[in-house]
Amino acid sequence: MRASLKHLMPRLLLYILVVIIVVWTIAPYLWLIISSFSSKLDLLTVPLRWIPSRPTLENYRSLFFEYGGESVNVRLFIKSLTNSVIISLSTMGIATILGVLAAYAIARLRFRGNQGMILTMMSIQLIPPIILVIPLYMIMRQAKLLDTHLGLIIVDLSIALPLVIWLMRSYFASIPSELEDAARIDGCTYLDALFRIVLPLSGPGLVSVMIFAFIASWNEYLYAFIYTNINAKTLPVLIGEFSTKLGLEYLKIAAAGVLASLPPVFLALIFQRFIIRGLTAGAIK
């Protein structure tokens, strides 16, 4: 009896700690979700009613169907959502294509400048965007790229591309090169080897860099905030505007926040194995 109690106590403590961790991790987000389904009446009562008495979709409906402001006759939310989708998918596609080619060269080809490229990629990821934001603004203003999709895609590449190259390089390095060596003896070129042997083996790596690139671009705020205005305004910028300008529209902000977080959160949860491998690849290998 005493022995089993002695055995039980650490287990109990462990489960208490796990519960605390789970609550700490999901409680704030859960509150955002609950708020987004609540009506003002429920949230304004004191003491606060934690579970809405009458859950409603009104906050979501108003996001999708109400027109923005007096001056702008567009459905702001739908417009920003579309912009975010276009910009994130394009950034993801371009960064993946350019990044995979460069990463293969860095991982497998011994060429002059190889080491320099590795160092460049690593350093770039540490450059604070705030130092780039001012000169890029002036360049984009001159090139008439402010408030355009293309402009923001190009700028987002500065984040996504080094990330893709860095992760893909470490992924390629983890694939044994024997198969390629054998293929090369049989007369395959490096490019044949890349497309016929390495890439088909790189599915998980490709998925993970694509998700990383997508999330990086989807979540990006500072550049979008400064470089876009109406035409190319992304969802994060719209949410920022909601939460700094509007008075008592918290519930609408909550609904927009939930919707904006769904794509990255779902992708990350579904592909968490790849994400975790990617996150640790940079730091542990």
Partner 1 sequence: MPGHLVPRSTRVSTLTMQIRSRSRSLADNPQLLGLLLTLPALIAILAVVLIPIFSSFLLSLQQKDLSRPQYDAFIGFKNYLTLLRDSRYLNSLWVTFRFSLTSVILEVILGVSIALVLNQRFVGRGFVRGLMILPWAMPSIVNAAMWKWIYNADYGALNALLTQLHLIDSYRVWLADPTWATILIILANVWKETPFTVILVLAALQAIPEDLYEAARVDGASAWRSFWHITLPLISPVLMVAAMLQFIWGFQTFELVYVTTGGGPFSTTELTTLRIYATTFRSLRFGYGAAMAYLTSLVILIPAVFYVRSAYRRVVEM
Q: Which of residues 223-262 bind partner 1 (CB under 8 A)?
A: 225-226, 235-237, 239-240, 242-244, 250, 253-254, 257, 260-261
CB of 33 to partner 1, least distance (A): 10
**Residues in 173-202 that interact with partner 1 by CB under 8 A:** 173, 177, 180-181, 184-185, 187, 189-192
Q: Which is nearer to partner 1, 75 or 226 (CB)?
A: 226
Q: Which is nearer to partner 1, 61 or 273 (CB)?
A: 273
| Region binding partner 1 by CB under 8 A among candidate stretches 59-67, 69-77, 114-122, 196-204 | 114-122
CB of 26 to partner 1, least distance (A): 6
**Residues in 199-218 that interact with partner 1 by CB under 8 A:** 215, 218
Q: Which is nearer to partner 1, 5 or 284 (CB)?
A: 284
Residue 105 φ/ψ region, left for φ over 0, alpha for ψ in the -120 to 50 degree band, beta for the rest: alpha
**Residues in 125-154 that interact with partner 1 by CB under 8 A:** 126-139, 154
Q: Any idea how long the chain is?
A: 285
**Chosen residue from 85, 98, 199, 201 binding partner 1 by CB under 8 A:** 98
What whole-number distance in Å separates Cα of residue 182 and Cα of residue 227?
50
At CA 155, angle to CA 150 and CA 161, rounded to 5?
110
Tokens of 218: 């989807």
Number of residues engaging partner 1 in binding (CB under 8 A): 109
| Region binding partner 1 by CB under 8 A among candidate stretches 54-62, 74-82, 101-109, 201-209 | 101-109
CB of 276 to partner 1, least distance (A): 6
**How far is the CA of 177 from the CAs of 31, 44, 191, in angstroms?**
50, 63, 14
Peptide bond into 47 cis (omega under 30): yes
List b or e across 61-71, with b for residues whose CB sees 16 or more CB atoms inside 10 angstroms.
eebeeeebeee
Binding mask 45-84 for partner 1 (x = CB under 8 A): -xxx-x----------------------------------
Which DSSP letter does residue 229 get? S
39: three-class secondary structure by DSSP = coil
Q: What are phi and psi of 31, to 5 degrees?
A: -65, -35
What whole-number distance in Å separates Cα of residue 208 and Cα of residue 273?
9
